[in-house]
Protein backbone atom coordinates (compact mmCIF):
# COMPACT_ATOMS: atom_id res chain seq x y z
CA UNK A 1 0.00 0.00 0.00
CA UNK A 2 1.12 3.57 -0.64
CA UNK A 3 0.99 5.68 2.49
CA UNK A 4 0.83 9.28 1.24
CA UNK A 5 -2.15 9.20 1.39
CA UNK A 6 -3.25 5.67 2.45
CA UNK A 7 -4.66 4.02 -0.68
CA UNK A 8 -7.44 1.45 -0.56
CA UNK A 9 -6.75 -1.44 -2.88
CA UNK A 10 -3.00 -1.42 -2.38
CA UNK A 11 -3.74 -4.12 0.20
CA UNK A 12 -2.94 -7.62 -0.64
CA UNK A 13 -1.81 -10.45 1.09
CA UNK A 14 -2.58 -13.74 2.31
CA UNK A 15 -1.94 -17.30 2.43
CA UNK A 16 -3.43 -19.54 -0.12
CA UNK A 17 -1.88 -22.28 -2.03
CA UNK A 18 0.66 -21.82 0.70
CA UNK A 19 3.55 -24.11 1.40
CA UNK A 20 1.40 -26.82 2.89
CA UNK A 21 -1.24 -26.81 0.19
CA UNK A 22 1.31 -26.56 -2.59
CA UNK A 23 3.35 -29.36 -1.10
CA UNK A 24 0.35 -31.60 -0.58
CA UNK A 25 -1.14 -30.98 -3.98
CA UNK A 26 0.60 -33.92 -5.58
CA UNK A 27 -0.41 -36.79 -3.27
CA UNK A 28 0.97 -39.52 -1.11
CA UNK A 29 3.21 -42.53 -1.40
CA UNK A 30 3.25 -45.11 1.36
CA UNK A 31 6.57 -46.50 0.08
CA UNK A 32 9.49 -45.76 2.36
CA UNK A 33 11.56 -44.95 -0.73
CA UNK A 34 11.13 -41.19 -1.01
CA UNK A 35 10.98 -40.01 -4.61
CA UNK A 36 13.19 -37.04 -5.52
CA UNK A 37 11.03 -33.93 -5.37
CA UNK A 38 8.53 -35.48 -2.96
CA UNK A 39 8.32 -35.76 0.78
CA UNK A 40 5.96 -37.16 3.41
CA UNK A 41 3.67 -34.67 5.13
CA UNK A 42 1.32 -35.28 8.05
CA UNK A 43 -2.29 -35.12 6.87
CA UNK A 44 -4.06 -36.65 9.88
CA UNK A 45 -3.00 -36.29 13.51
CA UNK A 46 -6.05 -36.63 15.77
CA UNK A 47 -6.22 -35.15 19.25
CA UNK A 48 -5.38 -37.65 22.00
CA UNK A 49 -8.98 -37.27 23.16
CA UNK A 50 -12.07 -35.35 21.98
CA UNK A 51 -12.78 -31.95 23.48
CA UNK A 52 -15.77 -29.61 23.66
CA UNK A 53 -13.69 -26.61 24.80
CA UNK A 54 -12.62 -24.08 22.16
CA UNK A 55 -10.68 -20.81 22.44
CA UNK A 56 -10.82 -18.73 19.24
CA UNK A 57 -8.57 -15.78 18.43
CA UNK A 58 -9.46 -13.75 15.33
CA UNK A 59 -6.57 -11.70 13.94
CA UNK A 60 -8.30 -9.15 11.72
CA UNK A 61 -6.77 -6.79 9.18
CA UNK A 62 -8.02 -3.29 10.03
CA UNK A 63 -6.43 -1.48 7.09
CA UNK A 64 -8.41 0.63 4.69
CA UNK A 65 -9.38 -2.02 2.15
CA UNK A 66 -10.93 -4.51 4.58
CA UNK A 67 -14.34 -2.96 5.31
CA UNK A 68 -16.28 -5.45 3.18
CA UNK A 69 -14.46 -8.46 4.62
CA UNK A 70 -15.03 -7.34 8.20
CA UNK A 71 -18.73 -6.86 7.51
CA UNK A 72 -18.95 -10.26 5.85
CA UNK A 73 -17.22 -11.96 8.78
CA UNK A 74 -19.65 -10.42 11.24
CA UNK A 75 -22.67 -11.31 9.11
CA UNK A 76 -21.62 -14.94 8.62
CA UNK A 77 -20.47 -15.70 12.17
CA UNK A 78 -23.86 -16.50 13.62
CA UNK A 79 -24.85 -19.20 11.16
CA UNK A 80 -21.46 -20.48 10.02
CA UNK A 81 -19.49 -20.36 13.26
CA UNK A 82 -21.57 -20.59 16.40
CA UNK A 83 -24.58 -22.47 15.04
CA UNK A 84 -22.46 -24.81 12.94
CA UNK A 85 -20.23 -25.72 15.88
CA UNK A 86 -23.31 -26.57 17.91
CA UNK A 87 -24.76 -28.69 15.11
CA UNK A 88 -21.50 -30.56 14.50
CA UNK A 89 -20.75 -31.25 18.15
CA UNK A 90 -24.33 -31.99 19.19
CA UNK A 91 -24.25 -29.25 21.87
CA UNK A 92 -22.85 -25.74 22.22
CA UNK A 93 -19.08 -25.81 22.80
CA UNK A 94 -17.43 -24.35 25.88
CA UNK A 95 -16.44 -21.25 23.95
CA UNK A 96 -14.17 -18.24 24.42
CA UNK A 97 -13.59 -15.72 21.61
CA UNK A 98 -11.11 -12.84 21.32
CA UNK A 99 -10.24 -10.41 18.53
CA UNK A 100 -7.01 -8.50 17.80
CA UNK A 101 -6.12 -5.97 15.12
CA UNK A 102 -3.16 -6.39 12.76
CA UNK A 103 -2.18 -2.82 13.71
CA UNK A 104 0.45 -3.06 16.44
CA UNK A 105 2.08 0.26 15.56
CA UNK A 106 5.41 1.08 13.96
CA UNK A 107 7.41 1.44 17.18
CA UNK A 108 8.89 4.83 16.34
CA UNK A 109 7.56 8.34 15.59
CA UNK A 110 4.24 7.92 13.83
CA UNK A 111 4.13 7.92 10.04
CA UNK A 112 1.10 8.79 7.89
CA UNK A 113 -1.65 6.29 8.63
CA UNK A 114 0.37 4.41 11.29
CA UNK A 115 0.63 5.26 14.99
CA UNK A 116 3.78 4.58 16.96
CA UNK A 117 2.06 2.06 19.26
CA UNK A 118 -1.25 1.06 17.68
CA UNK A 119 -3.37 -1.58 19.43
CA UNK A 120 -0.26 -3.56 20.37
CA UNK A 121 -1.99 -6.94 20.42
CA UNK A 122 -4.63 -5.99 22.99
CA UNK A 123 -7.91 -7.85 22.69
CA UNK A 124 -10.42 -5.55 21.01
CA UNK A 125 -14.04 -5.22 22.03
CA UNK A 126 -15.38 -3.17 19.14
CA UNK A 127 -14.12 -0.11 17.32
CA UNK A 128 -12.58 2.83 19.16
CA UNK A 129 -15.28 4.77 21.00
CA UNK A 130 -17.81 1.92 20.81
CA UNK A 131 -19.13 0.20 23.94
CA UNK A 132 -20.12 -3.41 23.37
CA UNK A 133 -22.35 -5.37 25.82
CA UNK A 134 -19.43 -7.50 27.04
CA UNK A 135 -17.79 -7.66 30.44
CA UNK A 136 -14.08 -8.23 30.03
CA UNK A 137 -11.78 -8.31 27.01
CA UNK A 138 -13.12 -11.48 25.36
CA UNK A 139 -16.41 -13.36 24.94
CA UNK A 140 -17.25 -16.25 27.27
CA UNK A 141 -20.07 -18.74 26.62
CA UNK A 142 -19.51 -21.97 28.56
CA UNK A 143 -21.51 -24.67 30.28
CA UNK A 144 -22.17 -23.85 33.93
CA UNK A 145 -22.17 -27.53 34.86
CA UNK A 146 -25.83 -27.46 35.81
CA UNK A 147 -27.52 -27.51 32.43
CA UNK A 148 -27.20 -23.78 31.78
CA UNK A 149 -24.65 -21.39 30.30
CA UNK A 150 -22.12 -19.10 31.94
CA UNK A 151 -21.74 -15.96 29.81
CA UNK A 152 -20.26 -12.48 30.10
CA UNK A 153 -22.38 -10.60 27.56
CA UNK A 154 -25.88 -9.19 27.20
CA UNK A 155 -28.24 -10.16 24.39
CA UNK A 156 -27.28 -12.89 21.93
CA UNK A 157 -23.86 -14.36 21.28
CA UNK A 158 -24.13 -13.33 17.63
CA UNK A 159 -24.91 -9.70 18.47
CA UNK A 160 -22.10 -9.51 21.03
CA UNK A 161 -19.58 -10.94 18.56
CA UNK A 162 -20.84 -8.62 15.81
CA UNK A 163 -20.12 -5.61 17.99
CA UNK A 164 -16.77 -6.96 19.17
CA UNK A 165 -15.45 -7.90 15.71
CA UNK A 166 -16.42 -4.65 13.95
CA UNK A 167 -13.07 -2.91 14.37
CA UNK A 168 -13.12 -0.30 11.63
CA UNK A 169 -10.56 0.28 8.88
CA UNK A 170 -8.26 2.98 10.19
CA UNK A 171 -5.40 0.58 10.98
CA UNK A 172 -1.82 0.82 9.77
CA UNK A 173 -1.06 -0.40 6.25
CA UNK A 174 1.99 -2.26 7.52
CA UNK A 175 -0.07 -5.23 8.72
CA UNK A 176 1.58 -7.36 11.41
CA UNK A 177 -0.77 -10.29 12.05
CA UNK A 178 1.93 -12.58 13.45
CA UNK A 179 3.19 -10.04 15.95
CA UNK A 180 -0.39 -9.10 16.89
CA UNK A 181 -1.09 -12.77 17.58
CA UNK A 182 2.01 -13.10 19.75
CA UNK A 183 1.34 -9.96 21.78
CA UNK A 184 -2.25 -11.03 22.30
CA UNK A 185 -1.28 -14.44 23.67
CA UNK A 186 2.09 -13.98 25.39
CA UNK A 187 0.65 -12.92 28.75
CA UNK A 188 1.73 -9.29 28.72
CA UNK A 189 -1.81 -8.05 29.44
CA UNK A 190 -3.53 -8.99 32.70
CA UNK A 191 -6.98 -8.59 31.14
CA UNK A 192 -6.20 -11.47 28.77
CA UNK A 193 -5.79 -13.82 31.72
CA UNK A 194 -7.85 -17.00 31.54
CA UNK A 195 -8.25 -16.93 27.78
CA UNK A 196 -5.86 -19.80 27.12
CA UNK A 197 -7.23 -22.94 28.76
CA UNK A 198 -4.99 -26.03 28.80
CA UNK A 199 -7.86 -28.40 27.95
CA UNK A 200 -9.27 -26.29 25.08
CA UNK A 201 -8.39 -26.43 21.40
CA UNK A 202 -6.92 -23.05 20.43
CA UNK A 203 -8.04 -21.87 16.99
CA UNK A 204 -6.25 -18.83 15.53
CA UNK A 205 -7.99 -17.33 12.47
CA UNK A 206 -6.13 -14.82 10.29
CA UNK A 207 -8.27 -12.57 8.07
CA UNK A 208 -6.10 -10.29 5.92
CA UNK A 209 -5.48 -9.37 2.31
CA UNK A 210 -1.75 -8.68 2.66
CA UNK A 211 1.28 -10.63 3.84
CA UNK A 212 2.74 -10.30 7.32
CA UNK A 213 5.19 -7.45 7.96
CA UNK A 214 6.16 -8.08 11.59
CA UNK A 215 9.56 -6.48 12.21
CA UNK A 216 12.08 -6.74 15.04
CA UNK A 217 13.77 -3.54 13.75
CA UNK A 218 11.10 -0.91 13.11
CA UNK A 219 13.48 1.20 11.02
CA UNK A 220 11.93 -0.61 8.05
CA UNK A 221 8.75 1.43 8.61
CA UNK A 222 10.58 4.78 8.74
CA UNK A 223 12.01 7.30 6.29
CA UNK A 224 8.59 8.35 4.94
CA UNK A 225 10.12 10.68 2.37
CA UNK A 226 12.31 8.02 0.76
CA UNK A 227 12.29 7.72 -3.03
CA UNK A 228 12.30 4.69 -5.38
CA UNK A 229 16.10 4.45 -5.46
CA UNK A 230 16.70 4.96 -1.74
CA UNK A 231 17.79 2.02 0.49
CA UNK A 232 14.25 1.48 1.79
CA UNK A 233 12.35 2.57 -1.30
CA UNK A 234 9.13 4.56 -1.14
CA UNK A 235 6.97 4.25 1.95
CA UNK A 236 4.79 1.31 0.98
CA UNK A 237 4.19 -2.30 1.97
CA UNK A 238 6.52 -3.39 -0.84
CA UNK A 239 9.22 -2.98 1.81
CA UNK A 240 7.75 -6.01 3.57
CA UNK A 241 8.35 -8.10 0.46
CA UNK A 242 11.81 -6.69 -0.30
CA UNK A 243 13.19 -7.13 3.22
CA UNK A 244 11.07 -10.07 4.37
CA UNK A 245 11.15 -12.39 1.33
CA UNK A 246 13.85 -13.69 -1.00
CA UNK A 247 13.32 -15.19 -4.45
CA UNK A 248 15.49 -16.64 -7.19
CA UNK A 249 17.05 -14.41 -8.41
CA UNK A 250 17.06 -12.09 -5.40
CA UNK A 251 16.18 -8.86 -7.24
CA UNK A 252 13.00 -7.61 -5.54
CA UNK A 253 12.72 -4.24 -7.31
CA UNK A 254 13.21 -5.62 -10.83
CA UNK A 255 9.87 -6.07 -12.58
CA UNK A 256 8.78 -9.54 -13.63
CA UNK A 257 7.88 -12.99 -12.32
CA UNK A 258 9.62 -14.11 -9.13
CA UNK A 259 10.23 -17.80 -8.42
CA UNK A 260 11.05 -19.98 -5.41
CA UNK A 261 10.07 -17.20 -3.01
CA UNK A 262 10.53 -17.93 0.71
CA UNK A 263 10.91 -15.85 3.89
CA UNK A 264 14.28 -14.09 3.91
CA UNK A 265 16.56 -16.28 5.99
CA UNK A 266 18.64 -13.47 7.49
CA UNK A 267 16.49 -10.38 7.23
CA UNK A 268 17.93 -7.27 8.81
CA UNK A 269 14.47 -6.12 9.87
CA UNK A 270 11.66 -8.67 9.54
CA UNK A 271 11.04 -11.42 12.12
CA UNK A 272 11.31 -15.00 10.84
CA UNK A 273 7.97 -16.90 10.67
CA UNK A 274 9.64 -19.86 12.37
CA UNK A 275 9.95 -17.79 15.52
CA UNK A 276 6.18 -17.40 15.59
CA UNK A 277 5.66 -21.09 14.85
CA UNK A 278 7.77 -21.96 17.89
CA UNK A 279 5.76 -19.50 19.96
CA UNK A 280 2.45 -21.05 18.90
CA UNK A 281 3.64 -24.59 19.64
CA UNK A 282 4.73 -23.53 23.12
CA UNK A 283 1.31 -22.14 24.04
CA UNK A 284 -0.01 -25.57 25.07
CA UNK A 285 1.46 -28.47 27.03
CA UNK A 286 0.32 -30.56 24.03
CA UNK A 287 1.07 -28.69 20.75
CA UNK A 288 -1.63 -30.70 18.96
CA UNK A 289 -4.16 -28.54 20.84
CA UNK A 290 -3.41 -25.62 18.48
CA UNK A 291 -5.06 -25.10 15.09
CA UNK A 292 -4.66 -22.30 12.54
CA UNK A 293 -6.94 -21.02 9.80
CA UNK A 294 -6.31 -18.37 7.19
CA UNK A 295 -8.45 -16.32 4.84
CA UNK A 296 -5.86 -14.94 2.44
CA UNK A 297 -5.00 -14.61 -1.22
CA UNK A 298 -3.23 -17.23 -3.37
CA UNK A 299 0.50 -17.75 -2.99
CA UNK A 300 1.32 -17.10 -6.63
CA UNK A 301 2.25 -16.23 -9.20
CA UNK A 302 4.57 -13.71 -7.58
CA UNK A 303 4.91 -10.78 -9.98
CA UNK A 304 6.46 -7.35 -9.43
CA UNK A 305 5.29 -4.44 -11.56
CA UNK A 306 4.84 -0.68 -11.31
CA UNK A 307 2.86 0.69 -8.39
CA UNK A 308 -0.48 1.90 -9.82
CA UNK A 309 -0.36 4.93 -7.51
CA UNK A 310 3.32 5.73 -8.07
CA UNK A 311 4.55 4.13 -11.31
CA UNK A 312 8.20 4.88 -10.64
CA UNK A 313 8.07 2.54 -7.61
CA UNK A 314 7.68 -1.27 -7.63
CA UNK A 315 4.68 -3.13 -6.21
CA UNK A 316 3.47 -6.69 -5.94
CA UNK A 317 0.67 -7.52 -8.34
CA UNK A 318 -2.47 -9.12 -6.82
CA UNK A 319 -2.79 -12.88 -7.08
CA UNK A 320 -6.56 -12.62 -6.85
CA UNK A 321 -9.30 -10.03 -6.83
CA UNK A 322 -13.03 -9.96 -6.16
CA UNK A 323 -15.19 -7.55 -8.18
CA UNK A 324 -18.02 -8.01 -5.66
CA UNK A 325 -16.05 -6.87 -2.61
CA UNK A 326 -13.19 -4.94 -4.18
CA UNK A 327 -10.66 -7.13 -2.36
CA UNK A 328 -7.31 -7.62 -4.07
CA UNK A 329 -4.75 -9.88 -2.38
CA UNK A 330 -1.02 -10.22 -3.02
CA UNK A 331 1.23 -13.25 -2.33
CA UNK A 332 1.41 -14.23 1.37
CA UNK A 333 4.87 -15.82 1.38
CA UNK A 334 5.52 -15.36 5.10
CA UNK A 335 2.07 -16.44 6.22
CA UNK A 336 2.41 -19.46 3.95
CA UNK A 337 5.60 -20.44 5.75
CA UNK A 338 3.79 -20.39 9.09
CA UNK A 339 1.02 -22.53 7.62
CA UNK A 340 3.56 -25.07 6.42
CA UNK A 341 4.63 -25.63 10.04
CA UNK A 342 1.14 -26.98 10.85
CA UNK A 343 0.20 -29.22 7.89
CA UNK A 344 -2.44 -31.23 9.76
CA UNK A 345 -3.74 -28.22 11.70
CA UNK A 346 -4.10 -25.51 9.06
CA UNK A 347 -7.17 -24.62 7.00
CA UNK A 348 -6.80 -22.28 4.04
CA UNK A 349 -9.66 -20.33 2.50
CA UNK A 350 -9.11 -17.96 -0.43
CA UNK A 351 -10.11 -14.38 0.28
CA UNK A 352 -11.40 -13.94 -3.28
CA UNK A 353 -12.92 -17.21 -4.45
CA UNK A 354 -15.92 -17.74 -2.18
CA UNK A 355 -18.41 -15.94 0.01
CA UNK A 356 -17.43 -15.46 3.64
CA UNK A 357 -20.19 -17.81 4.77
CA UNK A 358 -18.67 -20.64 2.68
CA UNK A 359 -15.17 -19.96 3.98
CA UNK A 360 -16.30 -19.83 7.58
CA UNK A 361 -18.34 -23.01 7.10
CA UNK A 362 -15.25 -24.97 6.04
CA UNK A 363 -13.13 -23.50 8.82
CA UNK A 364 -15.81 -24.39 11.36
CA UNK A 365 -16.32 -27.91 10.01
CA UNK A 366 -12.57 -28.50 10.06
CA UNK A 367 -12.41 -27.27 13.65
CA UNK A 368 -15.28 -29.42 14.86
CA UNK A 369 -13.69 -32.35 13.02
CA UNK A 370 -10.47 -31.93 14.99
CA UNK A 371 -12.39 -31.49 18.26
CA UNK A 372 -14.37 -34.70 17.67
CA UNK A 373 -11.47 -36.72 16.13
CA UNK A 374 -13.08 -36.96 12.69
CA UNK A 375 -10.59 -38.91 10.47
CA UNK A 376 -10.58 -36.41 7.57
CA UNK A 377 -7.30 -35.67 5.81
CA UNK A 378 -6.05 -32.09 5.77
CA UNK A 379 -4.62 -30.39 2.71
CA UNK A 380 -5.31 -30.37 -1.01
CA UNK A 381 -4.11 -33.88 -1.78
CA UNK A 382 -5.08 -34.13 -5.42
CA UNK A 383 -7.26 -36.66 -7.20
CA UNK A 384 -4.73 -39.50 -7.37
CA UNK A 385 -4.25 -40.05 -3.64
CA UNK A 386 -4.69 -43.69 -2.67
CA UNK A 387 -3.72 -45.84 0.27
CA UNK A 388 -0.49 -46.91 -1.41
CA UNK A 389 0.63 -43.27 -1.53
CA UNK A 390 0.46 -42.92 2.26
CA UNK A 391 1.75 -44.51 5.44
CA UNK A 392 0.22 -44.70 8.90
CA UNK A 393 1.17 -45.21 12.53
CA UNK A 394 -0.55 -46.38 15.69
CA UNK A 395 0.51 -43.64 18.12
CA UNK A 396 0.31 -43.29 21.88
CA UNK A 397 2.43 -40.67 23.57
CA UNK A 398 5.84 -40.68 21.87
CA UNK A 399 5.50 -44.32 20.74
CA UNK A 400 4.78 -44.95 17.03
CA UNK A 401 4.10 -48.36 15.50
CA UNK A 402 3.70 -48.74 11.75
CA UNK A 403 0.32 -49.92 10.43
CA UNK A 404 0.08 -52.04 7.27
CA UNK A 405 -1.85 -50.90 4.24
CA UNK A 406 -5.09 -52.69 3.47
CA UNK A 407 -4.60 -54.66 0.28
CA UNK A 408 -7.92 -56.39 -0.22
CA UNK A 409 -11.59 -56.47 0.72
CA UNK A 410 -10.82 -58.60 3.77
CA UNK A 411 -7.97 -57.81 6.11
CA UNK A 412 -6.26 -60.60 7.98
CA UNK A 413 -4.52 -58.10 10.24
CA UNK A 414 -5.18 -54.55 11.33
CA UNK A 415 -4.57 -52.17 8.45
CA UNK A 416 -5.40 -48.66 7.21
CA UNK A 417 -6.95 -47.36 4.02
CA UNK A 418 -7.65 -43.99 2.40
CA UNK A 419 -11.06 -43.49 0.76
CA UNK A 420 -13.63 -40.79 -0.02
CA UNK A 421 -16.01 -40.02 2.82
CA UNK A 422 -19.19 -37.95 2.97
CA UNK A 423 -18.22 -36.72 6.44
CA UNK A 424 -15.18 -35.02 4.88
CA UNK A 425 -17.06 -33.04 2.22
CA UNK A 426 -15.61 -29.77 3.58
CA UNK A 427 -11.99 -30.74 2.87
CA UNK A 428 -10.30 -30.20 -0.52
CA UNK A 429 -9.80 -33.95 -1.02
CA UNK A 430 -12.94 -35.32 0.67
CA UNK A 431 -10.78 -38.21 1.93
CA UNK A 432 -10.74 -40.02 5.26
CA UNK A 433 -8.46 -42.60 6.82
CA UNK A 434 -9.99 -45.90 7.96
CA UNK A 435 -8.68 -48.58 10.33
CA UNK A 436 -9.79 -52.13 9.50
CA UNK A 437 -9.25 -55.61 10.86
CA UNK A 438 -9.05 -54.51 14.48
CA UNK A 439 -9.65 -51.71 16.93
CA UNK A 440 -7.22 -49.09 18.15
CA UNK A 441 -6.51 -49.53 21.85
CA UNK A 442 -7.84 -46.94 24.26
CA UNK A 443 -5.75 -43.76 24.12
CA UNK A 444 -4.17 -44.69 20.78
CA UNK A 445 -4.70 -42.72 17.56
CA UNK A 446 -4.08 -43.29 13.86
CA UNK A 447 -1.61 -40.77 12.38
CA UNK A 448 -1.32 -40.63 8.58
CA UNK A 449 1.41 -39.17 6.38
CA UNK A 450 1.20 -38.81 2.61
CA UNK A 451 3.86 -38.25 0.03
CA UNK A 452 3.59 -34.72 -1.29
CA UNK A 453 5.51 -33.05 -4.02
CA UNK A 454 7.94 -30.39 -2.80
CA UNK A 455 7.53 -27.24 -4.87
Kindly report the average pLDDT of the chain as a whole number: 87
Q: What is the pLDDT of residues 246-272, one digit of tens each?
A: 999 899 999 999 999 999 999 999 999
Percent of the chain's residues with pLDDT above 90 = 70
Domain 19-28+49-371 in this protein, CATH class? alpha beta
The whole-angstrom separation of Cα 289 and Cα 309 is: 44
Tens-place pLDDT, residues 88-107: 999 999 999 999 999 999 99
Looking at residue 453, its pLDDT comes to: 55
Per-residue pLDDT band at 131 (split at 50, 70, 90): very high
Radius of gyration of the chain (CA): 22
The per-residue pLDDT for 33 is 41
Extents of the domains making up the chain: 19-28+49-371
Q: Which residues pair with 134 in a beta bridge?
A: 153
Write phi, then psi, for 202 (nearest 5 degrees): -95, 120
What confidence tens digit (pLDDT) does each residue in 31-51 have?
334 444 458 889 999 998 999
pLDDT of residue 138: 97
Question: Worst-scoring range by mean pLDDT, 42-46, 106-110, 356-360?
Answer: 106-110
At residue 210 the predicted structure's pLDDT band, cuts being 50, 70 and 90, is: very high
pLDDT digits (tens, 9 = 90+) for 297-306: 999 999 999 9
Query: Which residues touch 229 (CB under 8 Å, ≥6 apart)?
Result: none
Mean pLDDT of 318-334: 88
Amino acid sequence: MTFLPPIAGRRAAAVAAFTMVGALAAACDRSTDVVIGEDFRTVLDPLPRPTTALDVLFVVDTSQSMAAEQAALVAAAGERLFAQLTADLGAPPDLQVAVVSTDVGVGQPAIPGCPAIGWDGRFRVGAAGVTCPIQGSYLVDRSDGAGGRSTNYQGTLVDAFSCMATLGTTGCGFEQPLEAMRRGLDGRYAEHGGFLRPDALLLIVFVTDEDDCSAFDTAVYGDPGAGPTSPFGVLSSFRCFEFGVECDPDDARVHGVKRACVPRAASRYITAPGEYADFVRALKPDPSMVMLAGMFGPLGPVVVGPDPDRPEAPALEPTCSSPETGVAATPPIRLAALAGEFPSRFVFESLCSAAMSERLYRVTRSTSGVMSQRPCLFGDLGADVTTDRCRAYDVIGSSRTGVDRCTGAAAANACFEIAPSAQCDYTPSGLAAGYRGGTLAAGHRLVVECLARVE
